[in-house]
Amino acid sequence: MDKSRKIAIVGMTVSGLLAIVKIVGGTIAGSAAVRADGFESSADVFSSGLVLIGLTLAARPADKNHPYGHGRVEILTGLLLGFCLFAAGCFIAWHGLNGATELHVPAAWAVWPLLVSISAKLGLGLAKYRHGKQIGSSSLLADAANDGMDIISGSVALTALMLTLENPERFPRADQWGAFGVGLIVVVASIRVMQQTSLHLMDTMPDDQSMRHIREVAMTVDDVRGVEKCFARKTGLKYHVDLHLEVDPETSVRIAHEIAQAVRDKIRQEVDWVADVLVHVEPDPEASATREL
């Protein structure tokens, strides 16, 4: 978790520096697109701060009132991040559209802040995505997606700026409309982030292949006759699994408990995205039916 917090802090620092450079540079150079991308980076500082808070709170151990831990805070952080990005995108789009009637040619050096920003965000986004995937962090993955959108928005702003610089008579408003495009991209990214985190809050199960893998691992334990039900829900960085095992109806309570414990340990050992398993033991229905005959 220390690495996650370090990545979030680095993200805040880099985004803050980029925001200052682009807002000041865009204002001096007279580029609405560069200035809009700077506002977008300012929102990134806030979003990375939310991620840092979420990761810190989610790392708190389970207690009496939170037996599943505090991991849901991290998911809530991702949802809040989506709302903040939506508001920021609307503001940036409005700011760009509000200046779309201005006719002027920005300074040519305004392309450099955008080039530096795109390069920096590429490195940050890759680092956040790899580590977020590794630990299953919704908020870190949301922040990585945000960095990916930053690259796209920066590229849109760069293209619009270069169109105005290359042919100001034909594309006199391209720079301003580029700023509007940056805002729309942020809005689209925010909707995607809110959708993904909402699925986790609604206890959406993992994909079918992942659930099959849990069943397959359970079936490798001796004396397991079958798996009737298998559910999983995300409670933070990992999933909690509810599993209904089928065993011989004549199995004693002590032996059934040992089988259930073996299945729990096996799944936690071989499936790294599972935090814990609650195992219910049930009689094998086929064996019960045979005995009745």
User: Does 291 have pLDDT greater than 60?
Assistant: no
Where exactly are the structural domains of the chain?
A: 2-201, 208-292
The dihedral built from the CA positions of residue 189, 92, 114 and 166, taken in this order, carries a sign that is positive
Are 112 and 194 in contact, with CB atoms under 8 Å apart? no
Give the pLDDT score at 108.
84
Give the pLDDT score at 293.
46
| Same fold flag, 2-201 and 208-292 | no
Per-residue pLDDT averaged across 19-47, rounded?
A: 83
Report the C-alpha gap between 192 and 118 in whole angstroms.
Answer: 21
Are 118 and 154 in contact, with CB atoms under 8 Å apart? yes
pTM of the complete model: 0.62
Q: How far apart are the first and last CA of the chain?
A: 57
Per-residue pLDDT averaged across 89-112, rounded?
A: 75
| Sequence-ordered list of residues with C-beta below 8 angstroms from that of 6, at least 6 positions apart, any chain | none
Instruction: Kindly indicate whether the domain formed by 208-292 is annotated with CATH number 2.60.120.200.
Output: no
pLDDT band at residue 181 under the 50/70/90 scheme: confident
- CATH dotted code for 2-201: 1.20.1510.10
